[in-house]
């Protein structure tokens, strides 16, 4: 059942991403780097000033529900705190816009940028409210309900295509995206109609704040670091460089869906195993999650690294060729971050909130420092590296690699965790597969029609080598076949959606 839930999350996110890529293809090809960069910079601006929106609140909510707390009190408390932080977000973005207009003469002082920010803000508010319900569904392992709002939001895709073909402005692109966010909110409200909501009590609010306070600072800095790359790039280098980075990030987001799916269903189980004092299965689940995450990323990664220029050309067009090397660095970042994610959830599951916060603060402070070292050509009259967009990617990779090493050491000392030795074998096979693909590419050339054949060769060689090396078993191949069975998945989704009425009747 756990594997099926993970695959449902993966499949829905992949379908969503494929549909989004259809829209993204038209946007990149018809609108170009500058308009796309303005849109991405607006997202970064709102995101940077939205650091209050998740002060460790989502992880706290997941933890409290899985610890057996009253569901109605949990959802009521979550909604109240989320409402307060949303108001803070609106206030901070408004102040930020005012200051940027009257205190600077840079790339933020642009009427199109200002309007785009306002439209993006509306979508961000809708997304934050939606997260109240989807996080609750995640805690209850109601995976179908958790993912269905994403499908409803896909209505924005044809709107974005129309905007792109007509070569409209970044404002129109933001409007189309925001409409999708509003529709997702409507769907989540409908699916949550049977959830209990109780008036928050002071003890419950205090309980939430006590748990999330150690997480808050790390979460604040993390949110800033996540979006500051676009803001800093826009300030020092302009929207075109933001566009290059944004294209590579969108592709990497698609690649990372598998690890997100696995981690979402792993965290509640880790919490239960720790409460049962079952550290053997606890550590085994971390290793198993990392193994399957790396297998998926390795198969995809061999294609991404070897054919990065061709992939960028197909998805975004020749104007974005400078995104190719950025994509390669971001892929390595994705591997590091994905392998760290189960360990991060393990920290929260065992109640090590303070160390989790310290790790978050460390990685994000290092990232922000590296941004200012690697992105600008100069700062305050001092010459710097001037790597521009790829400098942002290097900054994140350096910081996350340090964080992953710290996590492994801490978990070893705290609960006797040992990294999965099969990860090394997977990495070796990945390098060998990449070498095979480079050889095939040298023989057949790098035309786009060669890519499907190389994908087939790469996947086949990797899986066969993995089977020989022993990190892919026959039983696992059978498991993968069973969980992707369309009839079984259909029955699972129908049974979960039908539980709405049963839960309401109860």
Closest by CA to 444, choosing from 432, 457, 433, 431, is 457
* Strand positions, DSSP E, 260-380: 378-379
Task: Tell how strand 382-383 and strand 378-379 pair up.
Answer: antiparallel
Q: Is it the case that residue 170 has pLDDT exceeding 90?
A: yes
Closest by CA to 250, choosing from 446, 23, 49, is 23
CA torsion 34-90-182-55 (nearest 10°) is 100
Q: What are phi and psi of 388, to 5 degrees?
A: 60, -130
In which band, very low, low, confident or very high, does the pLDDT at 479 lie, cut at 50, 70 and 90?
Answer: low
In which band, very low, low, confident or very high, does the pLDDT at 189 lie, cut at 50, 70 and 90?
Answer: very high
Question: Average pLDDT, stretch 434-442?
Answer: 92
Question: Average pLDDT, stretch 145-172?
Answer: 89
In the numeric block, the tokens 């409460």 are attached to 275
8 Å CB contact between 27 and 36 = yes
Q: Is it the case that residue 501 has pLDDT exceeding 60?
A: no
Which of 2-6, 127-131, 197-201 shows the lowest mean pLDDT across its residues? 2-6
CA-to-CA distance for 113 and 417, rounded, in angstroms? 48
- Res 504: pLDDT: 45
- Res 425: pLDDT: 94
Q: Is it the case that residue 305 has pLDDT exceeding 80?
A: yes
- Res 227: pLDDT: 86
Which two structure tokens, joined as six digits, stand for 288?
């198993």
More confident residue, 286 or 315: 286
Q: Is it the case that residue 502 has pLDDT exceeding 80?
A: no
Q: Is it the case that residue 140 has pLDDT exceeding 50?
A: yes
Which of 108-117, 150-159, 174-183 is the most confident on average? 174-183
8 Å CB contact between 245 and 392 = yes
- Res 422: pLDDT: 92
- How many beta carbons lie within 10 A of that of residue 109, not counting itself? 13
pLDDT tens-digit map of 380-431:
889 999 999 999 999 999 999 999 999 999 999 999 999 988 999 999 999 9
Residue 282 makes CB contacts below 8 A (sequence gap 6+) with 270, 273, 274, 346, 349, 415
More confident residue, 66 or 123: 123
CA-to-CA distance for 63 and 217, rounded, in angstroms? 18
- Res 238: pLDDT: 87
Where is 382: in which H helix or E strand?
strand 382-383
Helix ranges (H only) for 49-155 are 57-66, 71-102, 111-139, 143-152
């Amino acid at each position: 059942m756990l594997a099926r839930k993970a695959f449902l999350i993966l499949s829905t996110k992949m379908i969503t991403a494929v549909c989004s890529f259809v829209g993204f293809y038209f946007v990149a090809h018809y609108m170009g780097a500058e308009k796309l960069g303005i849109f991405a910079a607006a997202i970064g601006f709102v995101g940077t000033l939205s650091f209050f929106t998740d002060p460790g609140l989502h992880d706290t909510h997941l933890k409290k529900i899985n610890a057996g707390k009253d569901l109605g009190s949990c959802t009521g408390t979550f909604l109240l705190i989320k409402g307060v932080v949303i108001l803070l977000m609106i206030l901070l973005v408004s102040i930020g816009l005012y200051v940027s207009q009257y205190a600077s003469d840079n790339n933020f002082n642009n009427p199109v940028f200002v309007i785009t920010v306002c439209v993006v803000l509306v979508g961000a508010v809708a997304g934050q409210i939606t997260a109240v319900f989807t996080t609750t569904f995640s805690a209850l392992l109601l995976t179908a309900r958790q993912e269905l709002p994403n499908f409803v939001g896909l209505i924005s895709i044809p709107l974005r295509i129309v905007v792109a073909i007509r070569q409209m402005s970044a404002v129109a692109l933001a409007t189309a995206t925001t409409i999708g966010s509003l529709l997702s909110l409507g769907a989540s409200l409908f699916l949550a109609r049977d959830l209990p909501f109780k008036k928050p009590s002071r003890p419950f609010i205090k309980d939430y704040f006590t748990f999330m306070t150690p997480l808050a600072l790390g979460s604040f800095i993390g949110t800033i670091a996540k979006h500051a790359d676009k803001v800093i790039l826009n300030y020092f280098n302009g929207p075109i460089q933001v566009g290059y980075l944004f294209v590579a990030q969108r592709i990497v987001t698609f690649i990372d869906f598998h690890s997100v799916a696995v981690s979402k269903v792993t965290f509640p189980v880790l919490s239960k195993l720790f409460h049962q004092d079952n550290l053997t299965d606890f550590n085994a689940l971390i290793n198993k999650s990392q193994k399957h995450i790396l297998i998926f990323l390795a198969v995809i990664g061999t294609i991404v690294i070897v054919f990065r220029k061709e992939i960028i050309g197909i998805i975004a067009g020749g104007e974005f060729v400078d995104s190719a090397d950025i994509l390669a660095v971001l892929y390595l970042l994705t591997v590091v971050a994905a392998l760290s994610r189960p360990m991060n959830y393990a920290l929260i599951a065992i109640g090590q909130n303070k160390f989790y916060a310290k790790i978050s603060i460390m990685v994000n402070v290092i990232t922000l420092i590296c941004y200012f070292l690697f992105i600008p050509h100069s700062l305050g009259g001092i010459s710097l590296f001037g790597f521009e967009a790829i400098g942002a990617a290097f900054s994140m990779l350096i910081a996350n690699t340090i964080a992953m090493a710290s996590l492994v050491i801490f978990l070893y000392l705290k609960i006797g965790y040992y990294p999965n030795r099969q990860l090394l074998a997977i990495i070796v096979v990945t390098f060998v597969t990449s070498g095979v693909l480079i050889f095939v590419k040298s023989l057949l050339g790098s035309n786009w029609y060669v890519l499907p054949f190389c994908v087939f060769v790469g996947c086949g060689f990797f899986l066969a080598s993995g089977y020989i090396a022993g990190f892919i078993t026959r039983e696992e191949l059978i498991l993968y076949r069973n969980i992707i069975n369309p009839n079984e998945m259909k029955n699972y989704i129908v049974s979960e959606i039908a539980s709405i009425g049963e839960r309401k009747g109860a």
